[in-house]
């Protein structure tokens, strides 16, 4: 018997990169069994190098009871049936229909971010696999004329009790697909897992190694045109004038289009579009007006943030004990100020999108982290309904939060509207991406700590100023007004230490600026961990106590945190004396449901330092794919080191100063340290992994530099301090 079987509701789309071995019956949304026996798992979260294809497929296949060698994965289209559903799960079970309805009515997110892909899929993907298995068993029981409890499964084979009859899943797929989707299929207990928790090779690797994977920049469609774009150099600037006729006379140019704050040139090749754009600007065919932010610069922003810290009360995050009294009675008081800059995402694949508007229907091909919002923004820009708009998800050459924003997709859709019937691929240059990003907010922190006569930490005060995130995605998704997200909860959680301090005061001062800000890997945790973990280190030194032991004494109420701290100390050889000129620094942070502790080892060479080794310990609950966890920790450490060592976005005259990797450098092979990752034994709730390894990086390095040189780093990046 042939056929195909999918579990869920809705439909799936064969995207450009989804090389399904053969077509099948598309009856539902999550799992497909082809006549050949190949199972395709549709994932509602996109693959941008973080291993989602593999980990989500593992969850479904674990419950399906199927050979991993015959499994493939595919991106879901923008669809209500593939929204983030796991957040609505009730421990007592949840009907599949209720799950979909809740997702649509409450938020309707189809978001890849927040380190929640596996946490979300922990329920939804497993339910999909379990439901499919139960329906296949029922189909076999019906075909064989036996009760359901007489049928079991064995690695993709349906088996009648006693071994009388056997059938491959593919033989029963068509019959199973006609059955009603069970609301509460039984799930395995974790102690029965065979696949989850083991090291599994990633499903996306073969196509990427062969060069067969399709990223946004690889999309090619019949009769396609190519567009280059130039935004007003000044943030918030506008187009003063554009001579479309003069621009159109250049070789290969089809059309010049004015967009909000930008000019795009469409041509038969990208190079011709870009060349015509650059030439036109030089010849004066394109002119921009600076707008209201022409006087904006980094120094003015910093001055305003400092003034706000001194004059504004801010939002109270934590207020426990009597902090003022504790400071009055403290034997020693320590104060410090920390400063962190704006940061760009700098994804390796430049921002791009391809759109086509034909017969009132819009299609868009784009590597993105938020298919539903991409759809909405593109539809609005093209002047069509969301029902007539379809998003094709493709692989992402890096996301880090940048591809949750909708700007490039909306621009591509507007160009498709200007050239109906033709597919148009818009590709930003690196310079456009660097100077028109949605940046990680800058931050300044005023920290104060008090030690009693026994050198115990008795008082903690933190006042942190940073701009709120103004990117449009989450504001539209949850209806939060401009300039209020992240709110006090997100920032407050990031800047509040987990250590026990009897008297603690933490406040956040929101300092809006004209600089567009957005989600950046680990969000506010990227600066929250720096200010808290560096300051804990300063307090430990002031107390004359080893930084690891000082932290440990503050974790009596947090045994999981202490266990992770102990693990990294042990694996890094913390108790052993370091070589001359070598310093070790330790830092710990909790976010997205996981706890990470890291030790950096640096070597001083005159006035410069070299980061030689990084040891990380992570408690993420159950590690679905330990190999994937290790890869994510390595990735986060590299990304965090890049930011700590080199990352800084500065402004002069309302324009971003940095343009490319020559002045926004990256960690490269010669500066890459050795990384070791250790996964704490499972036991806690499932935590995220994609972002959690980044926050402790900068403080661990800064603390290691102090240990090696005696120089305290309170301002990032390290290059500005002259130590790298």
Within-domain flag for 11? no
Q: Which of 251, 269, 243, 257 is nearest to 419 (CA)?
A: 257
pLDDT at position 596 is: 98
Q: Tell me which residue range forms the domain holding 420.
A: 216-291+351-427
Asked whether the predicted pLDDT for residue 482 surpasses 70, the reply is: no
Sign, CA torsion 375/376/377/379: positive
Asked whether the predicted pLDDT for residue 99 surpasses 60, the reply is: no
**492: pLDDT confidence band, cut at 50, 70 and 90?**
confident
Asked whether the predicted pLDDT for residue 88 surpasses 60, the reply is: no
pLDDT digits (tens, 9 = 90+) for 293-311: 999 999 999 999 999 999 9
DSSP three-state, residue 63: helix
**84: pLDDT confidence band, cut at 50, 70 and 90?**
low
548 and 663 in one domain?
yes
Asked whether the predicted pLDDT for residue 588 surpasses 60, the reply is: yes
**24: pLDDT confidence band, cut at 50, 70 and 90?**
low
pLDDT digits (tens, 9 = 90+) for 544-553: 999 999 999 9
Give the residue with greater pLDDT, 710 vs 82. 710
Q: Do 215 and 15 meet the contact criterion of CB atoms below 8 Å apart?
A: no
**540: pLDDT confidence band, cut at 50, 70 and 90?**
very high
Asked whether the predicted pLDDT for residue 536 surpasses 70, the reply is: yes
d(CA 594, CA 620): 5
Least confident of 22-26, 43-47, 226-230, 583-587: 22-26
Residue 107 is encoded by which pair of tokens? 């938020």
pLDDT digits (tens, 9 = 90+) for 362-391: 999 999 999 989 999 999 999 999 999 999
623 and 606 in one domain?
yes
Give the residue with greater pLDDT, 197 vs 111. 197
pLDDT at position 607 is: 85
Say if strands 457-466 and 286-289 run parallel, antiparallel, or are unpaired.
unpaired
pTM of the shown model: 0.92
Percentage of residues in the chain having pLDDT higher than 70 = 90
b/e per residue 260-270 (b: at least 16 CB within 10 A): ebbbbbbbeeb
Sheet of strand 225-231: strand arrangement = 253-259, 262-267, 225-231, 424-427, 352-358, 361-366, 389-393
Within-domain flag for 9? no
196 and 278 in one domain?
no
pLDDT at position 7 is: 44
Residue reference for tokens 């209806």: 479
394 and 271 in one domain?
yes
pLDDT digits (tens, 9 = 90+) for 157-173: 999 998 889 999 999 99
On average, the pLDDT of the chain sits at 90
Asked whether the predicted pLDDT for residue 10 surpasses 50, the reply is: no
359 and 328 in one domain?
no
Sign, CA torsion 182/188/190/193: negative
Within-domain flag for 180? yes
396 and 380 in one domain?
yes
392, 427, 462: which is the final residue of a domain?
427
pLDDT digits (tens, 9 = 90+) for 406-451: 999 999 999 999 999 999 999 999 999 999 999 999 999 999 999 9
659 and 637 in one domain?
yes
Residue reference for tokens 């041509």: 267
Task: Give me the mean pLDDT over the 249-262 stretch.
Answer: 97
Q: Do 268 and 254 meet the contact criterion of CB atoms below 8 Å apart?
A: yes
135 and 268 in one domain?
no
Q: Is 676 exposed, middle or buried (0-12, 13-18, 19+ CB in 10 A)?
A: middle
pLDDT digits (tens, 9 = 90+) for 262-291: 999 999 999 999 999 999 999 999 999 999
210, 231, 261: which is the final residue of a domain?
210
User: Which of 188-197's residues contact partners 24+ apart within 8 Å by CB, and which partners?
Assistant: 188/62, 188/63, 188/126, 188/130, 190/622, 190/682, 193/62, 194/62, 195/58, 195/61, 195/62, 195/68, 196/58, 196/59, 196/62, 196/622, 196/624, 196/625, 197/622, 197/623, 197/624, 197/626, 197/682
Residue reference for tokens 């049936």: 81
Within-domain flag for 555? yes
pLDDT at position 92 is: 34
Within-domain flag for 16? no
Within-domain flag for 673? yes
Within-domain flag for 18? no
274 and 203 in one domain?
no
pLDDT at position 478 is: 35
Residue 660 is encoded by which pair of tokens? 């490319």
182 and 74 in one domain?
yes
The structural domain count of the chain equals 3
Asked whether the predicted pLDDT for residue 202 surpasses 70, the reply is: yes
The CATH number that applies at residue 638 is: 3.30.365.10
pLDDT at position 14 is: 32
145, 177, 210: which is the final residue of a domain?
210
Report the largest interatomic distance among the alpha carbons of the chain, rounded to a whole angstrom: 84
586 and 661 in one domain?
yes
* 344 backbone dihedrals φ, ψ, rounded to 5°: -90, 160
Task: Give me the mean pLDDT over the 654-673 stretch.
Answer: 96
534 and 483 in one domain?
yes
Q: Which of 394, 42, 412, 413 is nearest to 219 (CA)?
A: 394
Within-domain flag for 17? no
């Amino acid at each position: 018997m042939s056929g195909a079987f999918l579990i869920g509701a809705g439909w799936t789309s064969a995207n450009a990169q989804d090389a399904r071995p053969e077509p099948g019956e598309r009856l539902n949304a999550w799992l497909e069994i082809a006549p050949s026996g190949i199972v395709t798992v549709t994932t509602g979260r996109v693959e941008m190098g973080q291993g989602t294809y593999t980990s989500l497929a593992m969850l479904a296949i674990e419950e399906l009871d199927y050979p991993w060698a015959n499994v493939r994965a595919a991106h879901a289209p923008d669809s209500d049936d593939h929204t983030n559903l796991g957040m609505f799960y009730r421990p007592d079970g949840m009907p599949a229909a209720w799950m979909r309805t809740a997702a649509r009515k409450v938020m309707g997110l189809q978001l890849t971010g927040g380190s929640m892909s596996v946490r979300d899929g922990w329920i939804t993907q497993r339910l999909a696999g379990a439901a499919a298995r139960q329906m296949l068993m029922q189909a076999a029981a019906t075909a064989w004329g036996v009760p359901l409890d007489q049928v079991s499964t064995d690695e993709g084979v349906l088996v009648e009790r006693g071994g009388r009859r056997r059938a491959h899943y593919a033989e029963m797929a068509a019959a199973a697909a006609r059955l009603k989707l069970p609301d509460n299929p039984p799930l395995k207990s974790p102690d029965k897992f065979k696949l989850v928790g083991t090291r599994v090779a990633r499903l996306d690797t073969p196509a990427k190694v062969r060069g067969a994977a399709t990223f946004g920049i690889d999309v090619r469609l019949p009769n396609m045109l190519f567009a280059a774009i130039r935004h007003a150099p000044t943030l918030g600037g506008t187009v003063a004038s554009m001579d479309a006729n003069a621009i159109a006379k250049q070789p290969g140019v089809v059309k010049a289009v004015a967009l909000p704050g930008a000019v795009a040139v469409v041509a038969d090749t990208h190079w011709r579009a870009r060349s015509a754009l650059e030439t036109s600007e030089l010849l004066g065919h394109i002119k921009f007006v600076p707008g209201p932010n022409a006087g904006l610069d980094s120094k003015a922003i910093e001055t305003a943030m400092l003034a706000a810290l001194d004059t504004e009360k801010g939002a109270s995050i934590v207020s426990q004990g009597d902090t003022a009294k504790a400071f009055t009675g403290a034997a020693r008081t320590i104060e410090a100020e920390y400063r962190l800059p704006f940061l760009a995402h700098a994804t390796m694949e430049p921002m791009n999108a391809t759109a086509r508007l034909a017969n009132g229907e819009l299609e868009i091909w784009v590597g993105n982290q938020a298919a539903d919002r991409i759809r909405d923004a593109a539809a609005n820009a093209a002047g069509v309904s969301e029902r007539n708009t379809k998003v094709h998800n493709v692989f992402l050459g890096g996301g880090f939060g940048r591809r949750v924003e909708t700007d490039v997709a909306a621009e591509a859709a507007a160009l498709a509207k200007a050239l109906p019937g033709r597919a148009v691929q818009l590709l930003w240059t690196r310079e456009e991406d660097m100077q028109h990003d949605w940046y990680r907010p800058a931050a300044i922190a005023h920290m104060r700590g008090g030690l009693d006569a026994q050198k115990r930490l008795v008082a903690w005060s933190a006042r942190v100023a940073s701009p709120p995130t103004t990117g449009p995605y989450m504001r539209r998704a949850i209806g939060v007004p401009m300039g209020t997200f992240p709110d006090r909860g997100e920032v407050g959680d990031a800047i509040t230490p987990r250590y026990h301090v009897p008297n603690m005061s933490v406040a956040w001062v929101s300092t809006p600026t004209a600089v567009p800000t957005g989600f950046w890997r680990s969000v506010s945790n990227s600066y929250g961990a720096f200010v808290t973990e560096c300051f804990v280190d300063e307090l430990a030194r002031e107390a004359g106590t080893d930084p690891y032991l000082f932290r440990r004494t503050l974790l009596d109420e947090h045994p999981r945190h202490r266990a992770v701290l102990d693990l990294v100390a042990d694996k890094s050889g913390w108790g052993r004396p370091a070589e001359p000129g070598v310093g070790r620094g330790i830092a710990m942070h909790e976010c997205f449901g996981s706890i990470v502790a890291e030790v950096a080892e640096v070597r001083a060479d005159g006035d410069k330092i070299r980061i030689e080794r990084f040891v990380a310990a992570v408690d993420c609950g159950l590690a679905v794919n330990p190999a994937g966890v290790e890869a994510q920790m390595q990735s986060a450490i590299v990304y965090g080191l890049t930011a700590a060592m080199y990352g800084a976005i500065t402004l002069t005259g309302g324009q971003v100063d940095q343009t490319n990797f020559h002045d926004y450098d990256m960690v490269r092979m010669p500066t890459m340290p050795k990384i070791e990752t250790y996964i704490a034994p499972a036991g806690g709730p499932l935590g995220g992994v994609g972002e959690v390894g980044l926050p402790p990086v900068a403080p661990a390095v800064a603390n290691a530099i102090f240990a090696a040189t005696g120089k305290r780093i309170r301002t990032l990046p390290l290059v500005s301090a002259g130590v790298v």
